[in-house]
């Protein structure tokens, strides 16, 4: 029997509902249950694929090619359960499905309304595509009280009623602010938020309260009294220095125990939950043996959420090598003037050019590649970063001075060009330059074959066939392969049909790898991605050389 846990947020946004959901999922998993995590996003975009990273942070891509909310990345990193298209839905998608059905006459002449048609579509989404999961944790985006969120709250209220308390639990995450003038932690905002939720018919069963200091017993009792929950179901969620400590802290606060008690499944409080892996991870993060610094030369560097999975994956590389990874986020445009402050790159132990879109800052990224290549600094290019590395090598090593990407308009030598047709297994997929922007990229998992004896084959350390996730429109043009390889840039990973370049590496360099895919999406704290582990290892070796 699948049980549903709905997680809503109140008082303010950015309380870390995604991490809270992921951490609870990890705890239930540690108790031997099968979990699935889902996110309902109340905004009107059909998916986050067309949203600016400045607005919404990273777009997380799943194996099955869905462009989803970045919280799905947390879910996957914390539980190892691969997220799917059916794990994230938005108001936009729900409405477009309902409207498409209405146009086909499927509602048989009925007036199509928010209740029941939209709410039915939401309930159908929440309860479909499940097999033998014990728990589905379903996070509702936004904050209680938002207009957009109402149909979702109404849908989960109905589910609570239909499935009953033995199958549904409502968790509400709020903030308990400390007011210095009063010298007190305040419960009032949480009381109001719980009331707001109650006004749409949902009684919160468990309150998870973010706080920057321990919540005194009397505040907990007061909150329990006013909000109609048991005092032990007011869970303290203190600020922590690493997100990977959240499962440990929640467990100590009794969160998972209270969840199981609600469902009548609780064994003793300290039952056989093995959190050793989490504790070890936190220990390695807190007590590293050294430090490396990595420059990330990109475009959205003032909004770190835009590179969420990337910064996590770099951290995992640090865990693998027992070092702290210090990140220097650099806006690539600063390398475009004559007085470019390249010296800033001299002090780092590795340079990474991440994914990106559009021409702005591209030449600065090329300049950073030149610097890494000439100074023998470990270099990692991801997606756009790989494309810039290939353009750099074409211009400066292979004698193709006009090398560019058609992403920036027509160019003399389109070393990177628009991909309009490619194969996924035996199926040919086609796009034209005029298609809708949403969902028209090469998206999701594609196989790649590594070249025998290459550096990447050694790094992956298994067979030669790998699978990684993609999100891009342009591809490295295979017509330039011979010239680039003659100049030292080896095409060491290709699509199995040999048409799409997936990985390049530089021959005479300590560590210089460019990948067309996004390896950061699959890295996990307990299983750091081999490319990140190896890149950080090369950075550690670079520290030793200096």
- Give the active site residues: 383, 518, 520
Pair 138, 4: CB distance under 8 Å: yes
CA distance 356 to 365: 10
Sequence-ordered alpha helix ranges (H) in 447-529: 455-460, 481-486
Helix (H, G, I), strand (E, B) or coil at 480: helix
Dihedral angle computed from the Cα positions of residues 8, 10, 14 and 15, in that order, rounded to the nearest 10 degrees? -80
Helix (H, G, I), strand (E, B) or coil at 22: helix
Taking residues 181 to 220 in sequence order and writing x for each that binds ligand GLN by CB under 6 A, - otherwise, the string is ----------------------------------------
Q: Which is nearer to ligand GLN, 474 or 491 (CB)?
A: 474
Q: Which is nearer to ligand GLN, 153 or 383 (CB)?
A: 383
**Binding residues for ligand GLN restricted to 17-76, rule: CB under 6 A:** none
**Binding residues for ligand GLN restricted to 400-439, rule: CB under 6 A:** 407
Q: Which stretch binds ligand GLN (CB under 6 A): 89-97, 200-208, 352-360, 454-462?
A: 352-360
CA distance 508 to 488: 7
Find the shortest distance in angstroms from Cβ 470 to ligand GLN: 8
Q: How many CB atoms sit inside 10 A of residue 458's CB?
A: 11
Size of the site for ligand GLN (CB under 6 A): 10
Find the shortest distance in angstroms from Cβ 389 to ligand GLN: 12
Q: Which stretch binds ligand GLN (CB under 6 A): 236-244, 269-277, 332-340, 355-363?
A: 355-363
Helix (H, G, I), strand (E, B) or coil at 158: helix
Pair 113, 146: CB distance under 8 Å: no
| Maximum CA extent, the chain | 75
- Binding of residue 300 to ligand GLN (CB under 6 A): no
Find the shortest distance in angstroms from Cβ 67 to ligand GLN: 11
- Binding of residue 472 to ligand GLN (CB under 6 A): yes
Find the shortest distance in angstroms from Cβ 355 to ligand GLN: 3
Q: Which stretch binds ligand GLN (CB under 6 A): 131-139, 149-157, 443-451, 471-479?
A: 471-479
- Choosing from 18, 356, 378, 525, the residue that interacts with ligand GLN (CB under 6 A) is 356
295: nearest Cα among 305, 282, 307: 307
- Binding of residue 469 to ligand GLN (CB under 6 A): no
CA distance 134 to 52: 36
Tokens of 313: 């994956």
- Choosing from 5, 94, 345, 383, the residue that interacts with ligand GLN (CB under 6 A) is 383
Find the shortest distance in angstroms from Cβ 518 to ligand GLN: 7
Taking residues 99 to 138 in sequence order and writing x for each that binds ligand GLN by CB under 6 A, - otherwise, the string is ----------------------------------------
- Choosing from 39, 316, 473, 537, the residue that interacts with ligand GLN (CB under 6 A) is 473
- Binding of residue 355 to ligand GLN (CB under 6 A): yes
Find the shortest distance in angstroms from Cβ 388 to ligand GLN: 9
- Choosing from 474, 480, 512, 517, the residue that interacts with ligand GLN (CB under 6 A) is 474
Q: Which is nearer to ligand GLN, 251 or 518 (CB)?
A: 518
Length of the chain: 546
Pair 492, 454: CB distance under 8 Å: yes
Q: Which residues pair with 430 in a beta bridge?
A: 421
Find the shortest distance in angstroms from Cβ 119 to ligand GLN: 36
CA distance 400 to 387: 15
- Choosing from 471, 509, 522, 537, the residue that interacts with ligand GLN (CB under 6 A) is 471
Rg of the chain, C-alpha, whole Å: 25
CA distance 271 to 320: 30
Pair 419, 431: CB distance under 8 Å: yes
Pair 194, 208: CB distance under 8 Å: no
Instruction: Give me the residues that bind ligand GLN (CB under 6 A), please.
Output: 355-357, 383-384, 407, 471-474
């Amino acid at each position: 029997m699948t049980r549903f846990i709905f997680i809503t947020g109140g008082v303010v946004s950015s309380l870390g509902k995604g991490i809270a959901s992921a951490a609870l999922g990890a705890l239930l998993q540690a108790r031997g249950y099968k979990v699935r995590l889902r996110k309902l996003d109340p905004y009107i975009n059909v998916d986050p694929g067309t949203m600016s990273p400045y607005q919404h942070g990273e777009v997380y891509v799943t194996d099955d090619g869905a462009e989803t909310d970045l919280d799905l990345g947390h879910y996957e990193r914390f539980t190892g359960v691969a997220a799917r298209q059916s794990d994230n839905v938005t108001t936009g998608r729900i409405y477009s499905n309902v409207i498409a059905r209405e146009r086909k006459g499927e509602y048989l002449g009925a007036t199509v309304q928010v209740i029941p048609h939209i709410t039915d579509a939401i309930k159908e989404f929440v309860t479909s595509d499940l097999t033998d999961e014990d728990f589905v944790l379903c996070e509702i985006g936004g904050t209680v009280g938002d207009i957009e969120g109402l149909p979702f709250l109404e849908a989960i209220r109905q589910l609570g009623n239909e499935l009953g308390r033995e199958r549904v639990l409502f968790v509400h995450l709020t903030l308990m602010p400390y007011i210095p003038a009063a010298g007190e932690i305040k419960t009032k905002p949480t009381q109001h938020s719980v009331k707001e939720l109650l006004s749409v018919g949902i009684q919160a069963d468990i309150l998870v309260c973010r706080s920057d200091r321990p919540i005194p017993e009397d505040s907990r009792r007061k909150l329990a009294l006013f909000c109609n929950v048991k005092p032990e179901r007011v869970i303290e969620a203190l600020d922590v220095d690493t997100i990977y400590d959240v499962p440990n802290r929640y467990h100590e606060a009794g969160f998972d125990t209270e969840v199981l008690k609600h469902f009548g499944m609780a064994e003793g409080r300290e039952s056989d939950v093995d959190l050793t892996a989490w504790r070890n991870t936190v220990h390695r993060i807190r007590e590293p043996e050294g430090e490396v610094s990595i420059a990330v030369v990109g475009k959205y560097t003032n909004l770190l959420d835009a590179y969420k999975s990337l910064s996590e994956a770099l951290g995992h590389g640090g865990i693998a090598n027992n070092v702290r990874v210090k990140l220097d986020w650099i806006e690539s445009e600063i390398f475009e003037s004559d007085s470019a402050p390249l010296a800033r790159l001299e002090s780092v132990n590795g340079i990474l050019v991440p994914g990106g879109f559009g021409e702005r800052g591209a030449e600065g990224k090329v300049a950073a590649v030149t610097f890494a290549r000439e100074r023998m600094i470990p270099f990692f290019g991801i997606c756009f970063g790989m494309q810039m590395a290939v353009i750099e090598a074409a211009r400066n090593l292979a004698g193709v001075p006009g090398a560019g990407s058609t992403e920036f308009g027509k160019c003399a030598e389109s070393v990177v060009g628009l991909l309009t047709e490619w194969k996924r297994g035996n199926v040919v997929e086609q796009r034209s330059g005029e298609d809708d922007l949403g969902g028209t990229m090469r998206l999701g998992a594609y196989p790649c074959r590594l070249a025998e004896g290459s550096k990447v084959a050694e790094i992956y350390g298994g067979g030669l066939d790998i699978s990684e996730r993609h999100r891009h429109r342009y591809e490295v043009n295979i017509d330039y392969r011979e010239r680039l390889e003659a100049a030292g840039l080896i095409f060491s990973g290709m699509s199995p049909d040999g048409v799409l370049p997936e990985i390049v590496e530089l021959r005479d360099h300590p560590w210089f790898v460019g990948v067309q895919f996004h390896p950061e999406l699959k890295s996990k704290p307990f299983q750091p991605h081999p490319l990140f582990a190896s890149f950080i290892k090369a950075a550690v070796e670079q520290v030793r050389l200096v």
